[in-house]
Chains A and B, each alone.
Chain A
Amino acid sequence: MKVDTAAAVVEPMRQSSVWKRFKKQRSLHYFVWIGLLFLLVFSYTPMFGILMAFKNYTITQGIKGIFTSEWVGFKYFVEFYNDYKFGIIIRNTLVLSILKVIFTFPVPILLAVMLSEVKNMAFRRVVQTASYLPHFISWVVVLGLAFTFLSANAGLLNRLLLGLGWIDEPIPFLTSPNYFWGLAVGTAMWKEAGWWAIIFLAAIAGINPTLYEAAQMDGAGRLARIWHITLPGIRGTVVVVLILTVGSILGGGLVGSNFDQAFLMGNAGNNDTSEIVQTYAFKVGLAQGRYSYAAAIDLVQSLISVILIFTSNFVAKKVSGTSLF
């Protein structure tokens, strides 16, 4: 309705030429142009910056150097392929991403179903309120919490296990390569499960309650009702979230925190499992100043991601008829 009134107001303007209309809206265009200028500088220039992956770029050349530096073709991609860390980094990126999706995707759904089955609203509200608080806490604080609970010298868990006599010496959760993947999956789940449960709770709230009543009449128990009504009822939402997850899988899926985790919780001790493409590119670029090489490494990941987005969208469209674009 509001659109209708707006259309009526602009009607007289339509008759004048585009130029006249433009002149009349001039200041509005200025507002938009400031925004576009911002995007040009901070979004589009970096996109052109990808060119440096194919060039011999040095930082002293500034932005202009992106275009003027000498072409070297796929030199840096070949170099990455031959890097002694190539295999490890690709493995870590893939394993971490896949593990995180496998574990962090179903948990919010489960949590949402569990919460929706609680009849005591006060209890439900308390649990739910606490569950998404960690979403708003920074990864730096999560790193601090990981230290507080899991470190070998001060960690509460290690103290508890030692005190109970279950272990003889502290488990190096934070510094051993054996634990990094578990640590990353665990903290991602702890931080984001409650937040992503919100979207599924909203979907569950949209299910027609008469369906439950009818099922109860037919003698369906609680689990049967969840299985036959709740889960099918949120199928559309689940598929959309799944597409988003698969598309962003290399960034960490819907919890999207591979870089933060690998960077903050990665250290010399667990480097064998914690170094991923993004952190390696960052270190090569900023610490060693090898910008072209770093950009090439980054680009490999972006390309895989784009392919994954389109593939998952295509598959979802074929399988369930739901898609993003």
Chain B
Amino acid sequence: MKRSLEDRIFDGVNVCLLAIIFFATAYPFYYLLVISFNSGTDVLLGGAYFWPTEFTLENYKTFFGDSKWMSALFMSVLRTGVGVVTGVLFTCLVAYGLSHQDLVFRGFYFSVVIFAMYFSGGLIPYYVVLRSLGLLNTFWVFIIPALLNTFFLLIAISFFREIPPDLKESALIDGAGELQIYFKIILPVSKPLLATMALFTGVGHWNSWLDAAYFVRDEYLRTLSYRLIEIINQSRVSLSAEAAIAGASSVTSYSLQVTAMIVSIAPIIAVYPFLQKYFVAGMMLGSVKE
């Protein structure tokens, strides 16, 4: 079929606009990559837009050689790892209990969950609770308040309902307890669910900044997010072009900031294909939630 003039103009304009949108989304990330591989002092002269003008690994060497950044990176990895495992197991355990259709008080349990989903006391009372529990300035302030995610709770419940009951029945006859069934039967057949939850919970932990900035004070508890805020605010005041960081002369606080940004984006890009695989479903449920 021959395409009409309108068709061709429409397609042309559409593709051009989408190409601009693509550039606007992708280029910022690419530019960061260029800067991170470019000598910091050289960047300040301008010119490095699509390719490093003075290629160097100094920024990364400085970043990975700095104990402050390494400690922050370690803390981010640790909270993400521990947060994912505990959060997923905890949420799923509660969901497993709630997924039983014949559960006594089921209606009551659900209304407690749904109400908590829609209403919150706000940040200030929440902070007071964390403080009263003695969670502030401990590693556990990253983990414990994030154990249960009501949104994933509902997803997990509907997932567990689809598991054929005979799977569980035979184990019950063999005398297995519910906890055993949960670990030995339910979790192994729920891998797609666990993967989805792990990915989204992990991204949440990795990106979390408010708790890292305000709920902890000790240096060793500082995460990558916190250090990034710190260095961005430093760069805002001064780019330290002259005051290049001691030891590595070409590294500026700006090039170090960009390198840290790359390091905090990299894991997200690495899991991105997997995130994509699952998130359309998550999106649908997410819209119901919000």
Contact = CB atoms under 8 A, between A and B. Distances in A.
Q: Do A and B bind each other?
A: yes
Interface of A: 2-3, 5-7, 9-10, 13-14, 18, 21-22, 25, 27-32, 34-36, 38-39, 41-50, 52, 59, 62-63, 66, 111, 114-115, 117-119, 123, 126-127, 129-131, 133-134, 136-141, 143-145, 147-149, 151, 153-154, 156, 159, 163, 174-175, 190, 194-195, 198-199, 202, 221-223, 240-241, 244, 248, 254, 256, 260, 263-264, 267, 278, 281-282, 285-286, 291, 294-295, 298-299, 302
Contacts of A141: 207, 228, 261, 264-265
A51 to B, nearest CB: 9
B238 to A, nearest CB: 8
Contact of A174 (B153, B203, B236): B236
B4 A32 contact: no
A137 B29 CA distance: 11
B89 to A, nearest CB: 11
Given A9-B169, A144-B261, A28 B290 contact: no
Q: Which 8 pairs between the two chains have the least Cβ-Cβ distance? A: A49-B125, A46-B121, A35-B94, A31-B97, A138-B207, A43-B116, A46-B125, A27-B178
20 contacts: A2-B161, A28-B100, A28-B178, A31-B97, A32-B103, A35-B113, A38-B94, A39-B113, A52-B128, A66-B125, A130-B26, A136-B203, A138-B264, A140-B228, A147-B236, A151-B235, A151-B236, A174-B236, A221-B4, A264-B209
Contacts of B32: 145, 148
The A contact surface, by secondary structure, is: helix
B125 A148 contact: no
B72 to A, nearest CB: 12
Given A5-B164, A38-B147, A46-B129, A28 B97 contact: yes
A287 B277 CA distance: 42
Given A138-B209, A154-B235, A291 B124 contact: yes
Nearest to B254: A154
Contacts of B161: 2-3, 6
Interface of B: 4, 6-7, 10-11, 14-15, 17-19, 21-22, 24-26, 28-29, 31-32, 35, 44, 46, 49, 90, 93-94, 96-98, 100-105, 109, 112-113, 116, 119-129, 131-133, 145, 147-148, 150, 153, 161-162, 164-166, 169, 177-179, 182, 203, 206-210, 214, 225, 228-229, 232, 235-236, 239, 254, 257-258, 261, 264-265, 268-269, 272, 275-276, 279-280, 283-284, 287, 290
Contacts of A123: 15, 18
A98 B7 CA distance: 36
- Of A9, A28, A131, A194, the most chain B CB neighbours within 10 A belong to A28
Nearest to A241: B287
B18 A285 contact: no
